[in-house]
Amino acid sequence: MLSRVAAGFPSPAQDYIERRLDLNEHLIRRPSATFFVRVTGESMTGAAILDGDLLIVDRSIEPRSGKIIIASLAGELTVKRLLIENETVTLIPENPSFSPIHVAEPDDFEIWGVVTAVIRETP
């Protein structure tokens, strides 16, 4: 079911029902290149990525400066904003309580994909 919901006065629901909703159609462009990860921690709260969120990650998207990525750094996965300046790679957290990570050893660093969506359960 794909429908719009009024934030004001209620409307008859039947007027808005279109068809069965498949979230894969809307959130996953390249299924063979897409994976999911669950967020642990609070380093990306400023980007509305919270502890417990589910991220959709696409490995086929070119990781450019400014994109939020999933990367392996020294064998640990992390989600951060990618900053590339003069061939220097920095992983930027979106929480002022955390420090940027300057990638010094390219051998211990690999970008796994670009975050394309955040899924969060409501409390």
Tell me the catalytic residues.
Answer: 43, 80
Q: Which amino acid is at 11?
A: S
Q: Please list, in sequence order, all residues whose beta carbon lies within 8 angstroms of the beta carbon of residue 95, skipping any fewer than 6 positions away.
A: 42, 43, 44, 45, 46
Q: Are 94 and 41 in contact (CB under 8 A)?
A: no
DSSP 67-119: -EEEEEETTEEEEEEEEEETTEEEEEPSSTTS--EE---GGGEEEEEEEEEEE
Q: Which of 90, 24, 33, 73 is nearest to 81 (CA)?
A: 90
